Chains A and B, each alone.
Chain A
Amino acid sequence: MREVYPLWRLIVLLVRESSRHVGAAATSAALRETLDRERLVSVDQFDRSFAASRLTPGTNLIALYAALGGIVAGPLGAVAAVTIGLLPAALMSIAVCAFYLTVGESDSVTQVVRGASAAAWAVLVWSASRFLVPPARQHLFATALLVLLTLGLGSAGVPIVVLLLLSAVFGALLLKPQAP
């Protein structure tokens, strides 16, 4: 049983990771490793929070923060994690937006955004791999099969919430942790 640190340590890490990363995928992947390394929230607790955040309405990262804060310090922790944990990232993003609105559309701005978008695309791919490696180590075939099924059904237009519920059922049947 991992020891749970105070709420303030969690918030410091939430602030740090949300300010250093772009997008929910990268932030979540980084947090999963950081919180486990810092012995704040176990990988299992993080995965449960991540899964719950994916199945609730709204922005997944914000719900993930609420879940992590709730695990550490109940409802007050959830409020603190959401409001404080993402505030610096929000302010930084608004500053960029304000600059963009001031400068307006130009070739320079367009080229910067295109270059940044290419890198952000790579971040998305990298983030996916960070989540796939641990389960693939234990269940390579089942993980690959679930990925292919999700890609296929997702391409066919199956709603995200249905895909995630099917993934949960698949995981309950075929991705249970192996005995040590």
Chain B
Amino acid sequence: MSSYALFLVFVQAVLLSQSGWASVAVVRDALVEQRAILTDGRLTAFLALSQVTPGPLGFYLLFVGYSVHGWMGVLAAWLALMLPSFLVVPIIRVIERQQHAQWLRGATTGVVVGSAALMLLTARTLAQTAVPSPMHIGIAIVAIVALTAWRMPSLVVVALGGAVGLASL
């Protein structure tokens, strides 16, 4: 599979999704089901890695690209992730012209609250796999304390969580 064809798969996946992981179905269908150049296990591992590495969850596409086509695959994924994001530029320009409208300020607050609620929904969905044991619940509680009381960067918190996981072996 050429890196250009990989780029087209990635672009299609990104354009048809509303968030980082929503593109997984398209990627899985194209690379696992149709072309068998990626396995479900490897894709699942990349999704897990994207949760614990810097950047958005959508960066799992970089991992897929690297796995399938090395640095050309990474470039294909990078361009596919970046290009659709510029659709927001004309939208934000229109929105900024209405910035003093009270209804707009309420609407954006509504979207922010709705997004936060979706984060909680995702957390509820992931809870069974992310915090399956008392040890992992303890890691999560300490992590929240570290983030809130000590204002630790989340990357450090996640790295320490990984260290505790390793120490428990």
Report the bound CA distance from A12 to B78 in whole Å.
20
Q: Is the CB of A163 closer than 8 A to any CB of chain B?
A: yes
Known: A71-B96, A90-B78, A115-B139. A160 touches B168 (CB 8 A): no
Q: Collect the chain A residues with CB atoms within 8 Å of residue B139's CB.
A: 115, 118-119, 122
Q: Collect the chain A residues with CB atoms within 8 Å of residue B51's CB.
A: 22-23, 116-117, 120
Interface of A (DSSP majority class): helix
Q: Collect the chain A residues with CB atoms within 8 Å of residue B164's CB.
A: 115
Q: Give the residue name and chain of the A residue nearest to B115 (CB).
A: A54
Q: Are A121 and B123 in contact (CB under 8 A)?
A: yes
Known: A92-B54, A94-B74, A171-B110. A57 touches B86 (CB 8 A): no
Q: Please encode chain B, from 47 to 81, with 1 for each CB lying within 8 Å of some chain A CB and 0 for all others.
A: 01111111111110011001100000010001001
Cβ of A14 to closest chain B Cβ, rounded Å: 11
Q: Which of B1-9, B16-24, B27-35 contacts A (4 or more CB under 8 A)?
A: B16-24
Chain B stretch 79-95: residues in CB contact (< 8 A) with chain A: 81-82, 84-89, 91-93, 95
Q: Is the CB of B126 closer than 8 A to any CB of chain A?
A: yes
Cβ of A4 to closest chain B Cβ, rounded Å: 12
Number of A-B contacts (CB under 8 A): 377
Q: Collect the chain A residues with CB atoms within 8 Å of residue B107's CB.
A: 51, 168-169, 171-172
Q: Are B22 and A160 in contact (CB under 8 A)?
A: yes
Q: Give the residue name and chain of the B residue nearest to A168 (CB).
A: B107
Q: Please encode chain B, from 97 to 110, with 1 for each CB lying within 8 Å of some chain A CB and 0 for all others.
A: 00100111111111
Q: Collect the chain B residues with CB atoms within 8 Å of residue A175's CB.
A: 106, 109-110, 113
Q: Are B87 and A57 in contact (CB under 8 A)?
A: yes
Q: Collect the chain A residues with CB atoms within 8 Å of residue B108's CB.
A: 44, 47-48, 50-51, 168, 171
The 25 sampled A-B contact pairs (Cβ below 8 Å) are A20-B156, A21-B153, A47-B111, A48-B95, A48-B99, A56-B85, A59-B85, A92-B54, A97-B63, A107-B169, A114-B136, A115-B139, A116-B51, A126-B148, A128-B120, A147-B120, A150-B117, A155-B121, A161-B18, A168-B108, A170-B114, A171-B113, A173-B106, A175-B110, A176-B103
Known: A90-B62, A115-B166, A122-B140. 9 other contacts (CB 8 A): A66-B89, A70-B92, A78-B88, A86-B55, A111-B165, A114-B165, A116-B162, A124-B119, A168-B111
Taking Cβ atoms with an 8 Å cutoff, the residues of B that contact A are: 14-20, 22, 45-46, 48-59, 62-63, 66-67, 74, 78, 81-82, 84-89, 91-93, 95-96, 99, 102-124, 126-127, 129-131, 136-137, 139-141, 143-144, 147-148, 153-166, 168-169
